Structure 1
Amino acid sequence: MTNLSLSLAELQALGRQWGTWLPAGTVLLLAGELGAGKTTFVQALGEGLNIEDVIQSPTFTLIQEYPEGRVPLYHFDLYRLAPAEVAALAPERYWLGEEIDPGIVAIEWPDRLPTLPPAYLRLQLQRWRERTHLTLEAVGAATGLLPRCLNL
């Protein structure tokens, strides 16, 4: 696990940087309280992916798909759902690439997932005194992404 303390501008720069190189098939689990910076990070990630659409929190649509970037971006917001409702969305189709073009899957409120993907980067964000404290953890094959993720 790695801990970083970032300004808002640094968090956005990190998201943009990751968008330029993260491979299709990457799953990002974004955890943290309301206002911690989860959607802000995904917006910057979208900029790095060259997505021109405005990325908003998909709270009421649950899943936003942005196919036009360097690789597709699938943005989930599970805040309002119970695990059984999340299971009905079949989120594993996105990280397994079943019937869906492989892309980057960014999931806000991952604690609502009934099962976790086999490989992912978990970003735990906490806002404190104008800083975002980011704890980054890699699981499974995503551990191979860590050196480049931390190349700040």
Structure 2
Amino acid sequence: MPIADYVPYAQIASSFAAAIGLCLTATGLLLTARQLSRTRSVAALQSLQEFYKATNEREAALAEAPGDKRHAFIEFMNFLEVYSAAANEGLLTGVTLEIVNDKLIDSIVLLKKLNHWHSAISESVTGPSTYRHLCKFVSRHKAAIGACSESAPN
């Protein structure tokens, strides 16, 4: 049989190999997408764990500070400012954003009720950028803060 007779078989084999290659490539892309999704989930969990660790540290420092607690309180306010900025600017997503928002709202509601800290907040403002992100967060979430304020015990 001359070589020219084998050309159609070679074309079929080549097409078959290309189809297998395409299937393998598609499978690889799906596995990569799944891995990226899992990586994002792990990153979100790590962000939440870090958030709660930092929250507990700031709250414990405030509760355990001897004498004048203003420094610990201002550190707590700065912590709220940083996470307000992250929430406002889209650095957090999904359940991470939801949990951080809930904690920020709870903290703001509590701060509104703790009148003895209002003067410390006012005194810590050194310019127009002080607590800018926290103010923006409060403005964006006025309804939720109001609803929580009404339902929270005094």
Instruction: Say yes or no: TM over 0.5.
Output: no
In our comparison, the structure showing a higher alpha carbon Rg is: 2
- Bigger relative CO (Cα 8 Å, ≥ 6 apart): 1
Greater helix share, 1 or 2?
Answer: 2
- Give TM-score, length-normalised by structure 1: 0.29
**TM-score, normalisation: structure 2:** 0.28
